């Protein structure tokens, strides 16, 4: 009996609440596998009154009896990885027993971080607003066939390979005006590398194949969100990996025919951190109100997140690109108490109404809204109020996908499983 891999991913611009949902549904799985991104991600989990933020390690790590895999599509900074390991040890979790790392995953070098910083500084106002974790330069070396991989740590010539790459990076850094002193981070990075080597490396595509053939249930955990995808996001204001469901195939070595459910996570509104177009952005008081109520500050960088109304053309696009089979709606509680709520149903592009996300949304699309009644305080012990139920049905009708999970607060316990009303689909 072979099973399929379910995929959970962000349907907006990241920070939708993926970490929380993975943690909530992990008891139904034997394996949680991250398939792309790296320490640019910040996945927050809250339970038993404690908050944990994960960057590289999959969000199933707190559940006993579950194996967590860092797949080949992920990029790893050993220093950040070990900080996470140490924080987890303090929280009573021994990562060593529960974590495997794919040999094909690439490593982020201190020089990759310097190149990220140099490129951002060089672009000035045009900068991507990256997390400065070295993500772009590391994926550039991967596709440029120069990368340094986990499997290289087992080779005798590892140090030489590292040096060759560093020399290339030094030449590249020389092209920029500003100097970045990456050397000061090298000793810590090399020490972390030695510790990283003591973790369990696997040929993860074979390991996953065995798990699936043995009937084990696997959940692939995405990072970032669909609109940050390197191919289908708001390019160039995107990250450097495929954040979409197809990324789970390439980032884990799983065939498309083996993908099962695709769970799309979205907020009841929208946020974005970093530069780039955001049609429904609220630049006035309401945006600030949502930022404060939703504590919309980056889990990785602490930057304030830009806030705006729910964007249905963008959500429908995410449903299409990913083949989303069910949706999870997060942070409905943040909008509690608003008399009315606006939802963008269409864009006006060159005077024409459309519900499609066009090639370029920079300043060329005008969101068209519908206004719906709001709702009051929410509780997991009570039925959803009519206003929220109607809001969800509007989303289900537009996307033709059921909203099966509704999150009413950041804690693991503040979660409702919902039976979709079949008539709306
Ligand atoms: P991720 O990157 O998709 O895992 O999301 P982040 O952890 O970066 O950001 C989501 C933030 O919202 C975190 O601070 C969560 O604790 C919080 N959160 C998640 N779900 C809810 C919810 O339903 N309500 C509220 N108020 N906060 C939530
Ligand atoms: P999680 O997994 C939100 C954004 C950055 C920047 C752009 C490129 O927590 O949802 P990068 O460092 O990847 O080169 O930055 O992507 N970004 C995220 N925004 N959530 C994330 O991850 C993000 N990871 C990167 O702000 O705009
Ligand atoms: Mg996040």
- pLDDT tens for the chain, 425 residues: list them: 789 999 999 999 999 999 999 999 999 999 999 999 999 999 999 999 999 999 999 999 999 999 999 999 999 999 999 999 999 999 999 999 999 999 999 999 999 999 999 999 999 999 999 999 999 999 999 999 999 999 999 999 999 999 999 999 999 999 998 889 999 999 999 999 999 999 999 999 999 999 999 999 999 999 999 999 999 999 999 999 999 999 999 999 999 999 999 999 999 999 999 999 999 999 999 999 999 999 999 888 889 999 999 999 999 999 999 999 999 999 999 999 999 999 999 999 999 999 999 999 988 899 999 999 999 999 999 999 999 999 999 999 999 999 999 999 999 999 999 975 544 44
Which residue do the tokens 């009573």 mark? 92
Residue 206 annotated among the catalytic residues of the structure: no
Q: What are phi and psi of 264, to 5 degrees?
A: -100, 125
Distance from the Cα of residue 343 to its chain's centroid = 23
What is the Cα–Cα distance from 106 to 70, expressed in whole angstroms?
Answer: 11
Q: What's the gap in Å between 299 CA and the centre of ligand 1?
A: 9
Pocket of ligand 1, candidates 20, 379, 413: which has the most ligand atoms within 8 Å of its Cβ, to mutate?
20
Pocket of ligand 2, candidates 42, 73, 228: which has the most ligand atoms within 8 Å of its Cβ, to mutate?
228
pTM confidence score: 0.97
Strand pairing report for 326-330 and 259-267: parallel
Sheet hosting strand 201-202, strand order edge to edge: 201-202, 99-102, 67-70, 31-34, 218-221, 5-10, 259-267, 326-330, 403-407, 415-417
What is the Cα–Cα distance from 225 to 194, expressed in whole angstroms?
Answer: 32
Q: What's the gap in Å between 295 CA and the centre of ligand 2?
A: 17
Residue 52 annotated among the catalytic residues of the structure: no
Pocket of ligand 1 (CB under 6 A): 10, 14-20, 41-44, 46, 294-295, 299, 330-331, 333-334, 407-410
DSSP helix/strand/coil, 373 = strand
Pocket of ligand 2 (CB under 6 A): 10, 14-15, 37, 40-43, 128-131, 133, 135-136, 223-225, 228, 237, 239-240, 273-274, 299
What is the Cα–Cα distance from 78 to 39, expressed in whole angstroms?
Answer: 10
Catalytic residue from among 6, 23, 43, 52: 43
Q: ∠ at Cα 297 (291, 300), nearest 5°? A: 160
């Amino acid at each position: 009996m072979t099973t399929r891999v379910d995929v959970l991913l962000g349907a907006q611009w990241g920070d939708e609440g993926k970490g929380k949902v993975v943690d909530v549904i992990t008891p139904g799985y034997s394996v949680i596998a991250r398939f792309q991104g790296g320490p640019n991600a910040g996945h927050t989990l809250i339970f038993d009154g404690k908050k944990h933020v994960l960057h590289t390690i999959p969000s199933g790590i707190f559940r006993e009896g579950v194996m967590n895999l860092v797949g080949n599509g992920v990029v790893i900074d050993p220093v950040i990885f070990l900080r996470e390991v140490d924080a987890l040890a303090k929280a009573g979790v021994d990562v060593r027993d529960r974590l495997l790392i794919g040999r094909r995953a690439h490593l982020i070098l201190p020089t990759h971080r310097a190149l990220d910083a140099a490129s951002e500084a060089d672009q000035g106002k045009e900068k991507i607003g990256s997390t400065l974790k070295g993500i772009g330069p590391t994926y550039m070396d991967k596709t440029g066939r120069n990368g340094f991989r986990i499997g290289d740590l087992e080779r005798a010539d590892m140090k030489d390979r590292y040096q060759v790459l560093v020399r290339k990076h030094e030449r590249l850094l020389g092209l920029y005006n500003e100097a970045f002193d990456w050397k000061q981070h090298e000793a810590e990075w090399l020490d972390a590398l030695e510790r990283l080597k003591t973790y369990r490396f696997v040929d993860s595509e074979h390991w996953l194949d065995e798990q699936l053939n043995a009937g084990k249930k696997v959940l692939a955990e995405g990072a970032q969100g669909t609109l940050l995808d390197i191919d289908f996001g708001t390019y160039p204001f995107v990250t450097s990996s495929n954040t979409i469901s197809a990324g789970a195939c390439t980032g884990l070595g799983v065939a498309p025919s083996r993908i099962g459910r695709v769970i799309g996570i979205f907020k009841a509104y929208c946020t974005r951190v970093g530069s780039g177009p955001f049609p429904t952005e609220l630049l006035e008081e309401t945006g600030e109100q949502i930022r404060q109520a939703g504590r919309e500050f980056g889990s990785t960088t602490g930057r304030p997140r830009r806030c705006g109304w729910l964007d249905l053309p963008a959500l429908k696009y995410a449903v299409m690109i990913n083949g989303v089979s069910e949706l999870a709606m997060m942070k409905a509680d943040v909008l509690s108490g608003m008399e009315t709520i606006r939802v963008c149903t269409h864009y006006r592009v060159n005077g024409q109404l459309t519900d499609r996300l066009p090639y370029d949304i920079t300043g060329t699309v005008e969101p068209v809204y519908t206004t719906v009644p709001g709702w009051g305080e929410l509780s997991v012990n009570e039925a959803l109020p009519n206003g929220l139920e109607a809001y969800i049905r509007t989303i289900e009708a537009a996307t033709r996908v059921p909203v099966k999970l509704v999150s009413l607060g950041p804690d693991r316990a503040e979660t409702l499983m919902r039976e979709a009303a079949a008539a709306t689909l």
